[in-house]
Structure 1
Amino acid sequence: MKIGITCYPTYGGSGALATELGIALAARGHEVHFITYAQPFRLPSFLPRVYFHEVDVGRYPLFEYPPYDLALAVRMHEVVRDHQLDVLHCHYAIPHATSAWIARSMLREEGSDVKVVTTLHGTDITIVGQERSFYSITKFSIEKSHAVTAVSDFLRDETYRAFGCVGCQVDVIHNFIDPHLYDRSRHVFPIPVDVTKGRKVVMHISNFRPVKRVRDIVKTFARINREVPSVLIMIGDGPERVEAEAEARELGVAEHVHFLGKIDAIAPLLAGADLFLLTSDSESFGLSALEALASGVPVIGAHAGGLPEVVVHGVTGYLYPVGDVEAMARAGVGLLRDGKRWQAMSNAAAADARTRFSEDAIVAQYEALYERTLAAASVSSGTAMDVLPSISPSSSTT
């Protein structure tokens, strides 16, 4: 198959999943075309059967904000036309699926077509999509897709709830990991020993948005550090980094907290971690937690969103109510003090991640979805997008 993938190329779970999916599909013999405004952060400069098409957003005095969605639609149209793509796989409903609908409409005027698959990752449904100004276009983009997937049961159910979806089908296809990449025995921990000084390593990876509650990360660490000498490694960047730095200073642990910024290669870092913290208000899935588990790092976090689908409480980590930093810290201290229990949980985490979220199994689900979508569209003479049951307006929650 020839597959186009559009995602946000910046640091974040949706871009990481989309890029890893494209790489895996290419390794299976498919031709993959990334269509976005910058090269995805996890995409190497060259791979066989992988192509990158940059979206050029022109600058005109008329536009205070250049219309990226329209520029994306034009680029999608060009790539599908020139490379005869079978599927456009959009990660995020808006603006990507919206742009795909425009591109497809242009193609059909010319006598050709393409099938649109949309994967929902979270913010497009739980925050942006439910804003009144975006609600209608989000609903429209979902129901105009040939197939729709969500990365967790939680996100599927939230989509049904938020948009009153009674006729459309949202298939759950979880995120995945490359078990070879996240084998901690393959890596040398890159943090200098003069930084760790033999102390336990607590880690957090995110885009530092408010939903991540990074102050809670620092609060939890400060309590752990009182009982177990440790360091906190913060990977990523975003609007709440300043707040996390301020919290570390206020709690007197700034010298033990290290902010590394955005780093693409996280597997070597996770290979040296003893504990991973994720205290978010909500996680649609929790890809960073899965990558930690695959690396044999127990996860302690908030029982929210899709994270309980990833972390098995008491087996691969511990989950507590959002904001309960005391409980999270107690669990962390108990685990770090008990080497035997930590090793058992580390082994269980790695094994569970490889069993339930292996790359081979999940990528095969996407391949099957593409094939079903193409077959269904062929049977209905290419009108599947037009006859897909719509989201019932009468069930709307707005």
Structure 2
Amino acid sequence: MEGKLNIALLCHPTVGGSGILATELGHRLAELGHSVYVVSERPPFRLDDSHPNIHFCESTPVEFPLFKSPDHTLPFATRIADVCRNHRIDIMHAHYAIPHTAAAWIAKELIGEASPPTVTTLHGTDIIYLGAKEEYRPLLQHVLNASDRVTCVSKNLKERTEALFSLEQEIAVIPNFYEPKPVSRDRDQVRAPLDCGDIPLAIHASNLRTIKRVDLLLEGFKRALNQCDARLLILAGADATRIEPEIQKRDLQDKVIIESGVYDVDEYYAAADFTLFSSEYESFCLGILEGMRHGKPSVSFEVGGIPEVVEANETGLLAPFGDVDALGKAIASLANDSELRKRMGKKAEQRAREQFSAETVVDAYLDIYWQELARA
């Protein structure tokens, strides 16, 4: 199909896989000549709206004395409807069912017959946790069936979604992608302020939510230090003060480095030796893929969709969830063996390029857009 589309991307602004994927997708679509309207409460963490085809459309939550907390969803729905009318939106793409697909459904009711098709991409916790709550499940069931297409970022998430809901349509699996940006500082320049010299450096990047299980991350790392010398760099996408007691409790103040509010993550991945994750559940784990694109192997728990990203013992090491001894052993294995890191890192980068390229993933989404427009 030819022609350029007006696309509304609905996403969270915070650090997390859904916002990052939506933002990077928007960048790629803009480069292809499509007009992208990003609707969110504030500019997403990695959004570059300097491109002439990217337009940020702010949705402002409403505070009212009768509300215990600001109302996000209804103002968001109204904003979506305004954007669709004012910019002749061809397709709405919601990342996260709650609140974005729900808001898109309300917006379609406001617009009427002229409303554009809605594509919903599920990223994980909106389904795994909110979908398990009786307060949300009927609404999720309704808005997912009201979506013209539903996609998931992994087979595991698709299976979990189908186990929770009776959907009227087949779910498409489209994985995440990541394309690194050029780095302006070399390995030594990045490491110098971290004061870690040439010591093996593990990197963990996340929003530090409870599901990330930073307690297990630190415990596994502490046990690894009985077998190796290493440092752990945490790129914190949220307030890191709440994990400081966990660090102090394990006497890791000299072994763990925290950097907050980092936009240019690529130079840190390039300067690290391997990635480290300890989540209770990950539908995909974009952080692992980010490291893979920089030729870094990974250590993580074998949960959710991670085994679809990591080829066990080839591109990374997997441990049973909660087994901090096994996690520590895997960390030490990579920290103590530079040749192993190099060999696994090379395979990791190759797998990332072959299986999770921007070109393949963006084309898959465009195919769905055009299919839905043809049926509209």
TM class by shorter chain equals: over 0.9
Partner in structure 2 of residue 91 of structure 1 = 95
Q: Is 1:204 equivalent to 2:196 in the alignment? A: no
Question: Within 1, Cα distance between the matches of 2:55 and 2:194?
Answer: 42
Q: Is residue 185–residue 267 contact of structure 2 (8 Å, CA) maintained in 1?
A: no
State the AA in 2 paired with 1:290.
L
**What is the CA distance between 1:105 and its match in structure 2?**
1.4
CA 186–197 in structure 1, closer or farther in 2 if over 3 Å, else same: closer
Residue number among 112, 126, 129 corresponding to 2:128 in the alignment: 126
**What is the CA distance between 1:247 and its match in structure 2?**
2.9
Residue number among 100, 105, 108 corresponding to 2:109 in the alignment: 105
1:272-330 Cα deviation digits (max 9, x unpaired): 11121111111011001110111111101100000101111011001111011211222
CA 216–373 in structure 1, closer or farther in 2 if over 3 Å, else same: same
1:33-90 Cα deviation digits (max 9, x unpaired): 0011101110124112110110122333343333211101111111110110000100
Q: Is residue 184–residue 271 contact of structure 1 (8 Å, CA) maintained in 2?
A: no
Partner in structure 2 of residue 335 of structure 1 = 334
Q: % of aligned pairs identical?
A: 34
Question: Within 2, Cα distance between the matches of 1:57 and 1:114?
Answer: 24
Q: Which has the higher contact order (CA 8 A, sep 6+)?
A: 1
Partner in structure 2 of residue 59 of structure 1 = 63
CA 237–29 in structure 1, closer or farther in 2 if over 3 Å, else same: closer
**What is the CA distance between 1:184 and its match in structure 2?**
11
Specify the SS of the correspondent of 2:226.
helix
Between stretches 225-234 and 364-373, larger displacement belongs to 225-234
CA 184–264 in structure 1, closer or farther in 2 if over 3 Å, else same: closer
**What is the CA distance between 1:235 and its match in structure 2?**
1.0
Partner in structure 2 of residue 25 of structure 1 = 29
CA 16–213 in structure 1, closer or farther in 2 if over 3 Å, else same: same
Residue number among 78, 81, 85 corresponding to 1:77 in the alignment: 81
Q: How does 1:384-395 map to 2 (within 5 A)?
A: none
Structure 1 runs of 4+ with >4 Å offset: 182-189
Specify the SS of the correspondent of 1:255.
coil
Partner in structure 2 of residue 347 of structure 1 = 346
Q: Is residue 296–residue 346 contact of structure 1 (8 Å, CA) maintained in 2?
A: yes
Runs of 5+ unmatched residues, structure 2: none
Partner in structure 1 of residue 262 of structure 2 = 263
Partner in structure 2 of residue 394 of structure 1 = none
CA RMSD of aligned residues (A): 1.9
**What is the CA distance between 1:9 and its match in structure 2?**
0.7
TM-score, with length taken from structure 2: 0.94
Q: Is 1:150 equivalent to 2:149 in the alignment? A: no
Q: How does 1:342-381 map to 2 (within 5 A)?
A: 342-377=341-376
Q: Is 1:38 equivalent to 2:42 in the alignment? A: yes
Specify the SS of the correspondent of 1:227.
coil
1:152-172 Cα deviation digits (max 9, x unpaired): 00111000001133x321100
**What is the CA distance between 1:337 and its match in structure 2?**
2.0
Q: Is residue 229–residue 335 contact of structure 2 (8 Å, CA) maintained in 1?
A: no
The number of residues matched between the two structures is: 372
TM-score, with length taken from structure 1: 0.89
